[in-house]
Structure 1
Amino acid sequence: MAGKNMNYFLMDGTPNGRIKCTLANWTGVAYKIPRIKLVDCKNIDYLKQSGVYFLFSKGDGDRPLVYVGQSGTRKNGEGILNRLKEHHASPKQGLEDWYEAVAFTTSNNIFGATEISWLENRFFSLAVNANRYEAKNGNEPNAGNVTEEKESELEEYVEYAKIVMGVLGHLVFEPLVQNRTPHNTECVETDDNLEFFMEQKMQNTGMTVKAKCKRSSEGYIVLRGSVINSKINEKTCSGVAKKAREKAKVDENYTLLEDVLFSSPSAASMFVTGASSNGYTAWKTAEGKTLKAVETSEAEEL
C-alpha cells in the first residue's frame, strides 16, 4: 500500500485532548473527542453536519466496547454534536460508560439520510467481523438502498476512514489476521507475514497438538483452527498462557475457534501446549526453519 499524508490538529494542544484529522485526497473530516471535552465542541461547524459516530468504552469483559451511530442535520442546524449531547445526557442510549467519541463527516456536507444509513451499517459490519471490540448496538443498523455508483463512492470513503480510525488509536475495523481468504481459515502468505507451525504429542494427555502462528505488528497470533492441549501443567505454564486458555473459545476437540494474540512467541507456544515451551524453537516454518533462525536471518539482512 502506498504511503498516506495525514494532517492532525491537536485542538487543545495536548495528545489526549480533542484531535481533528484530515487526509490528502479525501473529503472526509474526523474528530476524536474525549467525553469530558464534549462541552468545548459547540462551535465546531463540521460537527453540526450529518455523519457517523462511534462511542468507545473499556468495558468490564475481555474486549472493549463500541457503539456505532449516525445523525442527520436537524432543523435546529445541529447534527452529530446534538446526538453526542443526547448520549452524554442519557448514557443508557448507546454506551453508559463511554469515555471517547470519534465522529466522521465531510468537508462539503454531502451526506444525506441514505448515505449515513449505509455507512452506519457498513461500519457496524466491519467492527463485528474484525471481532476486536464488542459492538453494543441493540440491532444491526439498516443499510438502506444506494446505487452501485454511490456504493463505490462510499466504499472509498470507508477505506480512508478505516485508516484514520486506526491511527486515532482504535483498531476496531482491523482483524488480527490480515489477508485471510473469505470463508476459510487459511491466510494469504506474504514475505513479511510467514506462517509458523507446531506439532507435538503431549505426555500428560496423549494428544497431538497441531497449531499455526503468524507474526504481526502487534505480536504473535495463534490462528483459529489450531488444536491445543486439553490440560495444562499448573507448575510450568505461564500466567499469561493460563489466562488466555481460560478465555479461549474451543470446540469439543479443543480446536481453537478464534485467533488469539500474544506479546511473545513463548506465551503463544505455552498456550498451545499448556506447559513450559520456548516459542523461538517450537515454532517452525513449513521448511522446518525455527522462528529464532528466521529472525536471525532477518537481522543479518539489515
Structure 2
Amino acid sequence: MIQGRSIRLFLVDGTPNGLLTAEIMNWTGRVLTSPRSKLSELVQRPECGRTGIYFLIGPDPENSLRPLIYIGESDDVGTRLKQHNRPEDKGGKDFWEKVCLVTSKDQNLTKAHVKYLESLLIQSAGQIGRCRLMNGTAHEYISLPESDRADMAFFAEQIRTVLPVLGLDFLRETARPSREPEATLATEPEVSPHFTLEVPRHGIRATSQEIDGEFYVFKGSLARGAWAGTERGYQSLYNQLCEDGVLTESNGTKIFNVDQSFNSPSAAAAVVSGRSANGRTSWKTEESGLTYGDWQDQQVSEAVREASK
C-alpha cells in the first residue's frame, strides 16, 4: 500500500501567485517557486545564494499541450537566474515565465552533487516526455561516489514527488494503461476497467482506461477524420494532436499512434468524436456497458458501504 506523505507549503507573501516554499517531512531539500515578475524578491532569499538545481518554465508556442523547460545547476542560483533574466541577445533566456529552485536546508549539496542531479533530471524529463527540454544532451557524471549517487537518486525522487503538488507535472512519471481488462499495475493502487466509445456511422471505435487521474486512449483507437464541432472547446487539442502526429489519417478517420493521456474523459471523448462530448455518458465499460458516470457512482457507493461496516 502506498504511504501518505506530508508536504508543508508556505506562501511567502501571502498570495497564491507569489513566492512559495515547499518541504517534505524528513527530507533535507527545500523547494522555492516564483513567477518571473517576482525575481527581484526571489534573488534576495537566502536559498538563492546556495548550491542548487533550478527549472525555468514557460509556454511552448509550438505546442500548447506541453511547457518549455530548462534544467540547470549553480553554486549560486541567484546569480545564475540574474544571467538568465537578461535579454536573449545578451546571453539570457526569454521563454520562461516561472522558476523553481531546489536547495538543501543543511547546505550539504556540493557542485558535484548538483551536476549529477541535473543529469538525472534531464534524462528523466526527456524520457517522460511531458515537456520540451531547452537543454542539450545530459552529461554523464560517474565520478561521484556510489553512496552519493544513491543519495542523489533519493533527492531526485523527492523532487519528482513535490513538483506535481506545485502544479509542475513535467517530472511526473506517466503510468501506462494495461491491454488486459483484468490486469492491474504493480506501481498503481487502482486502475479502471476498459471503456469503449463507438460512433458506427463515422466508423469510430476507441478504447480507453483511467489511471491515476488521467484518462488514456489506447494506441490503435479511431477518431473522427476532421473536427466537426464549433470553434471552441477541444478543437485546439484535436488540432494539436494532429500536428504532433498522435492522430494520423486512416481511411477517412484518424488513428491514435500512441497511448494518449487526457485530463478528463470529456476531453478524450471530444477528440475521438470530433466535437464536444460528455465523457461521463459517452464512454462505456466493455464488460457491463455501464457509462463512465454510472461506473464512478458505483465505485463511490461501494466505498461508502465498506466504510459503514
- Which amino acid in 2 is paired with 1:38? L
Matched, 1:89 2:83: no
Does the 8 Å CA contact 2:177/2:216 hold for their aligned counterparts? Answer: no
1:201 to partner: Cα distance: 6.5
Distance 1:187 1:133, change over 3 A: farther
- What CA distance in whole angstroms lies between the structure 2 residues aligned with 1:270 and 1:203? 16
Write the deviation string for residues 240-260 of structure 1: whole angstroms up to 9, x where unpaired. 344332222135542332513
Whole-angstrom distance in 2 between the partners of 1:226 and 1:187: 21
Tell me the TM-score normalized by structure 2.
0.79
TM-score, normalized by length of structure 1?
0.80
Report the equivalent of 2:201: 203
Residue 69 of structure 1: aligned partner: 72
Shift of 1:262: 4.3
Look up the match of 1:75: none
2:151 — aligned with what? 153
Q: 1:277 & 1:5 partners in 2: Cα distance?
A: 38
Q: Give unpaired runs (5+ residues) of structure 1.
A: 73-78
Alignment deviations for residues 52-107 of structure 1 (CA, whole Å, 9 cap, x no partner): 100111232312211111112xxxxxx11110010112446564132221111112
Kept in 2, the 8 Å contact 1:232–1:273? The answer is no
Alpha-carbon deviation of 1:268?
A: 2.0
Whether the 8 Å CA contact 1:202–1:273 is kept in 2: the answer is no
Give me the whole-angstrom Cα distance separating, in 1, the residues matched to 2:278 and 2:58. Answer: 36
Amino acid at match of 1:280: R
Preserved CA contact (<8 Å) 2:73 2:115:
yes
Q: Does residue 243 of the first structure (1) align with residue 243 of the second (2)?
A: no
- State the one-letter code of the partner of 1:268: A
Matches within 5 A, 1:156-235: 156-175=154-173, 177-178=174-175, 188=185, 192-198=190-196, 200=198, 202-204=200-202, 207=203, 209-214=205-210, 216-217=212-213, 221-229=215-223, 231-232=225-226, 234=228
Structure having the higher strand fraction is 2
The superposition leaves residues 193-226 of structure 1 with CA deviations (integer Å, 9 ceiling, x where unpaired) of: 204232646333xx45242231543xx5233414
- Provide the residue aligned with 1:5 in structure 2: 6
Distance 2:36 2:163 in 1: 17
Q: Distance in 1 between matches of 2:176 and 2:116?
A: 24
Q: CA deviation at 1:115?
A: 1.6
Q: For the structure 1 residues 238 and 283, does the alpha-carbon distance in structure 2 shift closer, same or farther, using more than 3 Å as the test? A: farther
8 A Cα contact 2:85 2:93, kept in partner = no
**Aligned partners of 1:209, 1:55: CA distance in 2, in Å?**
40
Letter of the structure 1 residue corresponding to residue 120 of structure 2: R
Q: Cα gap change, 1:51/1:262 in structure 2, threshold over 3 Å: closer, same or farther?
A: closer
Q: CA deviation at 1:12?
A: 1.9
- Tell me how far apart the structure 1 counterparts of residues 299 and 177 of structure 2 sit (CA, whole Å): 24
Q: Do structure 1's residue 55 and structure 2's residue 56 form an aligned pair?
A: yes
Q: Deviations over 1:5-57 (max 9, x none)?
A: 22233222322221222221111111112222222244433321211100111
The aligned counterpart of 2:41 is 40
Bigger Cα displacement from structure 2, 220-229 vs 52-61 = 220-229
- What displacement does 1:187 show? 7.2
- When the two chains are superposed, the root-mean-square deviation of aligned CA atoms in Å is 3.0
Structure 1 residues 81-137: Cα deviation after superposition (integer angstroms, max 9, x where no partner) = 110010112446564132221111112222223221121121122222332222122
- What are the ranges of 5 or more consecutive residues in structure 2 without an aligned counterpart? 305-309
CA contact (8 A) 2:184 2:190 kept: no
Shift of 1:267: 3.9
CA distance in 2, matches of 1:187, 1:38: 45
- The residue identity in structure 1 corresponding to 2:73 is Q
Report how many aligned residue pairs link the two structures: 284
**In structure 2, C-alpha distance between the alignment counterparts of 1:266 and 1:70, rounded to whole Å:** 40
